[in-house]
Amino acid sequence: MNGPRAKQRRELLRQMIRIRRFEERCVELYSAAAIRGFMHLCIGEEAVAAGIMHAAGPDDPVVSTYREHGHALARGIPMEAVLAEMYGRTNGCSRGRGGSMHLFDAGHRFYGGNAIVAGGLPVAVGLALADRMSGRPRATVCLFGDGAVAEGEFHECLNLAALWRLPVLFCCENNLYAMGTAIERAQAETDLATRAASYGLSSWAVDGMDAVAVSEAAERALRSIRGGSGPCFLELRTYRFRAHSMYDPERYRDKSEVQEWKRRDPIERMSTLMRDEGELGDREIATIESEVDKEIRNAIAAAEAGPLEPVEDLTRFVYSERS
């Protein structure tokens, strides 16, 4: 019951529950107007965040998108810093200047939080270039959605990273929709792993509803990248259970489709598997839930108590402050 495999599964499960409960709470806080702006949830996609971050090393830079709460939490950015950011407070991980879409944390090597679709890919390529030129054995983890595959920057970056054999793990969270546009309405070839492979890099598709599969695929890819074989591309096939953002009447998909995917809920699936194999009982689940609940309560308290930046400081951080 306590072997390394069980430990890994328990950790993946715990991260997924943290992310799920956190975002469920964020919906309430959004309705209460404590959180404003655009907010994108990853409910349904937690296996990707948990699996990828489990595989990544602490020094590996991470570049993400506006749908990054899960990535940030699984990466280890404290929940209170994430929530305080969404509250716009100075104890937020971006001092309240970024909000939900722009979480940054230099210490955790978390480089955003980019709300331009595909805009983070060039930055990831550059971080990898810096590591390579400085002889640091790291790999940059770059997360983005299926929508990004239609952007020019995606193609420029896969080509450049493959050409220079840079240590980048491209992680495409294919949730089948870019806002309201279903993938087959936007991409002439919907097999994204095959398209990526045309750039001459290793590429494969993974069940993105299975945190263990995601984590193992990412570990394998990272091993290959660190071994000097150049970048890898993972297509993580997943689904978002909620709306694109908080303003989305979801006219573009059938409720039955959502219901169908919910039967593959990554959290349900993992806990069922662990129960079946005798790795998990009700007691452990209750413990995880109550730890997470406490963490969320503490995060809310910290966010509420967080100071607001005085407006006199409005124009700070446009240029570096030199001491």
Partner 1 sequence: MTKTTYREALREGLREALKEDDRVFMMGEDVGRYGGCFGVSLGLLEEFGPDRIRDTPLSESAFVGAGIGAALGGLRPIVEIMTVNFSLLALDQIMNNAATLLHMSGGALNVPLVIRMTTGAGRQLAAQHSHSLEGWYAHIPGLKVITPSTLEDARGMLLTALRDPDPVLLFEHGSLYNVSEELADDAGAVDIERAAVRRSGKDLTITAYGGTLRTALAAADDLAAQGIDAEVIDLRVLRPLDEAAILASVTRTHRLVIVDEGWRSGSLSAEIAARVAEKALYELDAPIERVCTAEVPIPYAKQLEEAAIPRPADIVAAAKRAVG
Ligand X SMILES: Cc1ncc(C[n+]2csc(CCOP(=O)(O)OP(=O)(O)O)c2C)c(N)n1
- The residue ranges that bind partner 1 (CB under 8 A) are 61, 63, 90, 92-98, 102, 104-106, 111-114, 116, 119, 121-131, 133-134, 140, 152-153, 156-157, 159-160, 163, 316-322
For residue 55, what are the CA distances in angstroms to 15, 159, 215, 223? Answer: 13, 25, 6, 10
Q: Which of 23, 68, 105, 146 binds ligand X (CB under 6 A)?
A: 146
Spell out the alpha helix ranges (H) of the chain. Answer: 4-31, 46-55, 69-75, 79-86, 120-133, 152-163, 183-186, 192-197, 211-226, 255-262, 266-276, 282-305
84, interface contact from ligand X, partner 1, none, CB < 5-8 Å by kind: none
The distance of Cα 30 from the centroid of its chain, to the nearest Å, equals 20
Q: What angle do CA 265, 269, 275 make, to 5 degrees?
A: 150
98, interface contact from ligand X, partner 1, none, CB < 5-8 Å by kind: partner 1
266, interface contact from ligand X, partner 1, none, CB < 5-8 Å by kind: none
Kindly state the tokens that stand for 162.
Answer: 């493959």
- Chain length of the chain: 323
Residue 41 in contact with ligand X, rule: CB under 6 A:
no
Residue 148 in contact with ligand X, rule: CB under 6 A:
yes
Q: Please, what is the minimum distance in Å from the beta carbon of residue 147 to ligand X?
A: 3
Cis amide prior to 113 (ω within 30 degrees): yes
163, interface contact from partner 1, ligand X, none, CB < 5-8 Å by kind: partner 1
Sequence letter at residue 191: D
121, interface contact from ligand X, partner 1, none, CB < 5-8 Å by kind: partner 1
Task: Give the separation between CA 234 and CA 260, rounded to whole angstroms.
Answer: 24
Size of the site for ligand X (CB under 6 A): 14
Residue 145 in contact with ligand X, rule: CB under 6 A:
yes
For residue 141, what are the CA distances in angstroms to 35, 49, 186, 222, 230? Answer: 28, 11, 25, 9, 13
Q: Please, what is the minimum distance in Å from the beta carbon of residue 320 to ligand X?
A: 27
DSSP annotation of 110 reads: E
122, interface contact from ligand X, partner 1, none, CB < 5-8 Å by kind: partner 1
Pick between residue 104 and residue 239 the one whose CB is nearest to partner 1: 104
Residue 196 in contact with ligand X, rule: CB under 6 A:
no
Residue 252 in contact with ligand X, rule: CB under 6 A:
no
First-to-last alpha carbon distance for the chain, in angstroms, is 54
168 close to 225: Cβ distance less than 8 angstroms? yes
Q: Please, what is the minimum distance in Å from the beta carbon of residue 70 to partner 1?
A: 19
Residue 116 in contact with ligand X, rule: CB under 6 A:
yes
Pick between residue 16 and residue 236 the one whose CB is nearest to ligand X: 236
Q: Please, what is the minimum distance in Å from the beta carbon of residue 175 to ligand X?
A: 5
Strand, coil or helix: what is 240? coil
Residue 117 in contact with ligand X, rule: CB under 6 A:
yes
276, interface contact from partner 1, ligand X, none, CB < 5-8 Å by kind: none
| Signed CA dihedral, 181, 179, 197, 161: sign only | positive
236 close to 214: Cβ distance less than 8 angstroms? yes
Q: Which of 67, 71, 75, 195 binds ligand X (CB under 6 A)?
A: 67
Sequence letter at residue 244: H
Q: Which of 163, 179, 286, 301 binds ligand X (CB under 6 A)?
A: 179
Pick between residue 252 and residue 301 the one whose CB is nearest to ligand X: 252
SS3 per residue for 163-176: HCCCCEEEEEEECC
Q: Closest-CB residue for ligand X?
A: 145
Interface residue list for ligand X (CB under 6 A):
67, 115-117, 145-148, 173, 175, 177-179, 244
